[in-house]
Amino acid sequence: MNDWQSYAAAAIVGITLAILVRRFFAPKKPQGGCGNDCGCGKKPAK
């Protein structure tokens, strides 16, 4: 790795991996009722 493009590629791969790992292990947000008749199976919030 002698040129700047190799370092840039390694940095992009590292950033991408960090984002994917963070999203995979992040706590899930609770899903509320959508309030629409979209067919998701949830009762509309009134």
In a domain, 42, yes or no: no
In a domain, 45, yes or no: no
Query: According to the model, what pLDDT value does residue 46 have?
Result: 57
Those residues whose C-beta lies under 8 Å from the C-beta of residue 31, and which sit 6 or more positions away, are: 42
Give how many domains the chain has, as a whole number. Answer: 1
Query: According to the model, what pLDDT value does residue 42 have?
Result: 64
In a domain, 8, yes or no: yes
3-state helix/strand/coil string of the chain: CCCHHHHHHHHHHHHHHHHHHHHHHCCCCCCCCCCCCCCCCCCCCC
Query: According to the model, what pLDDT value does residue 31 have?
Result: 59
What domain range includes position 15?
1-27
Query: According to the model, what pLDDT value does residue 2 have?
Result: 80
Query: According to the model, what pLDDT value does residue 36 have?
Result: 64
In a domain, 15, yes or no: yes
In a domain, 43, yes or no: no
In a domain, 36, yes or no: no
Q: What is the pLDDT of residues 7-38, one digit of tens each?
A: 999 999 999 999 999 998 887 766 555 666 66
Those residues whose C-beta lies under 8 Å from the C-beta of residue 45, and which sit 6 or more positions away, are: 32, 33, 34, 35
Query: According to the model, what pLDDT value does residue 10 have?
Result: 96
